[in-house]
Amino acid sequence: MAVRQRQHEQDPMIRRTNFDAVESNLTDEQAKIEASRCLNCKNPKCVDGCPVNINIPAFIKEIKEGNIEKAGEVIRESSLLPSVCGRVCPQERQCEGKCILGIKSEPIAIGALERYVGDATNIKIGEIKETGKKVAIVGSGCAGITAAADLRKAGHEVVVFEALHKLGGVLRYGIPPFRLPRTFLDKEIKNLKDMGVKFITNVVVGKSITIKQLEEDGFDAIVIGSGAGLPKMMGIAGENLNGVFSANEFLTRVNLMQANMEETPTPIRVGEKVAIIGGGNVAMDAARVAVRIGFKEVYIVYRRTETELPARLEEIRHAKEEGVIFKFLHAPKEIYNKDGYVAGMQFEIMELGEPDESGRRKPVSTGKTVDLDVDTVIVALGTGPNPTIQASMLRDNMKLETNPKGYIIIDAETGATSVDKVYAGGDVAPTGSSTAINAMGAGKRAAKAINEYLETI
């Protein structure tokens, strides 16, 4: 059997100086070879591993037979954004993690094949029969745009309200372009515009307009896909010093506002040494962006060990290759202050104890501490939902149920909230891990439920 095909990657020493895509696509020949490795299993485990159950063997078979358009159609029955998911899904924990070939050798490169097909093909827009019904969507991230596509296909007028001046949510302001080139995101958004989805930017729902007003304006249903953009901080001394950023702010400033460019109204102070606190994809992205904008020493500081790092394996490998230094079993204790600026950081040295409720061994303090010489700190410890919409609904006497952390409570099958005609999905109402594909799945489920509901009125 042929070996697993690999995409060409930019040399790490070169790519650490640019924002171009790290990897190119598989060539046509490589894609065919990779597709021919698939056993077309009768009971394909890979499909169970995919959160939206793409018919993986079927699209791989089409590649093998040279029917790329057909392969694209098969994928898009389940996923609107194959170019995105092929690049950002944690395949090793999803489809590829279940591939039978992985037991004895290497699994099929399902992600690489998915993006190969996604890049080469386009959504097919059939004839749309107008229903006269209209749906408002809050947020243009994965959940919002997926719901928008399926609702528009069903013939409803769809208006997406986005708080920022650009569309795409985390795919635009969070994930850096060297991981997700913007051409593909722009292509998908253009497709939606061509289908007739309307986008209104710079509108903060809950402030510029409320959910109640949207209802009064005649929207028959509303989908809240406002994500979870509120950063969690550490709660330690020194957190308010100059030079401390949340990863969200840091990435947004660079990805969306080009803060690293010379001529910018919102510049970022590039220091010498930066500690990024956390071990997920967001931490890896912040570290790799810090390398590219000129920090000389970039540390990822994580309180468990390498085995527990939650980031995608590929991002960890790429970060290491690009010179990011990992400090494991370090927990933040204090940020030192010199004239209002970060002047180093103190960490507690940890060791792993008993497993916690997540099943991972819990870090416990050894009582020892260590100092790290840094002038910048980026906190990547996760985010929570912004309470703006929830608070405005409360003021309008709309009883939206949320959990104690402020996430909207939904029916996992339909996305229905406790408020009539209001649905939610994605990071604002997680029903699994907060990933791009899960947000898309939620958008699809909400759209299906709304389409069914709108048929009844």
Site string for ligand FAD, 321-360 (x = CB under 6 A): ----------------------------------------
In 376-427, beta strands by DSSP E: 376-379, 383-384, 422-424
- CA angle centred on 291, ends 290 and 295, rounded to 5°: 75
Beta carbon of residue 265, minimum distance to ligand FAD (angstroms, whole number): 20
**CB-wise, 113 or 234, nearer to ligand SF4?**
113
Select from 199, 116, 123 the least CA-distant residue to 157: 199
**Among ligand FAD, ligand SF4, none, residue 175 binds (CB under 5-8 Å by kind):** ligand FAD
Q: Does 389 bind ligand FAD (CB under 6 A)?
A: yes
Partner whose binding site includes residue 162, from ligand SF4, ligand FAD, none (CB under 5 to 8 Å by kind): ligand FAD
Q: How far is the CB of 259 from ligand SF4 (least distance, A)?
A: 41
Choosing among ligand SF4, ligand FAD, none, which partner's interface includes residue 46 (Cβ < 5 to 8 Å by kind)? Answer: ligand SF4
For ligand FAD, the binding residues in 186-215 under the rule CB under 6 A are 203-206
Label the pairing between strands 273-277 and 297-301. parallel
DSSP H helices, 196-235, are 211-216
Give which of 165, 406, 338 is closest to 266, Cα–Cα. Answer: 165
**Shortest spacing between CB 355 and ligand SF4, in angstroms:** 30
Q: Does 170 bind ligand FAD (CB under 6 A)?
A: yes
Closest CB 93 distance from ligand SF4, rounded Å: 15
Per CB under 6 A, 229 contacts ligand FAD: yes
Supply the minimum distance, in Å, between the C-beta of residue 39 and ligand SF4: 4
Q: How many residues does the chain have?
A: 457
- On whether the CB atoms of residues 266 and 253 are closer than 8 A, the answer is yes
Residue 191 pairs in a beta bridge with none
- Helix boundaries (H) for 91-219: 95-98, 101-104, 110-120, 142-153, 170-173, 182-195, 211-216
Q: Choose the one of ligand FAD, ligand SF4, none that binds residue 101, judging by a C-beta under 5 to 8 angstroms depending on kind.
A: ligand SF4
Question: 244 has which bridge partners?
Answer: 377
DSSP designation for 344? E
- Tokens for 121, please give them: 């093909």
Sorted by sequence, the CB contacts under 8 Å of residue 435 that are 6+ apart come out as 51, 88, 89, 90
Under rule CB under 6 A, residue 281 binds ligand FAD: yes
Give the one residue of 30, 79, 386, 402 binding ligand FAD; rule: CB under 6 A: 386
Task: Give the shortest CB-255-to-ligand FAD separation in angstroms.
Answer: 9
Chain positions contacting ligand FAD, by CB under 6 A = 88-89, 138-144, 161-164, 169-171, 174-175, 203-206, 225-227, 229, 251, 281-282, 285, 312, 386, 388-389, 426-427, 434-437, 439
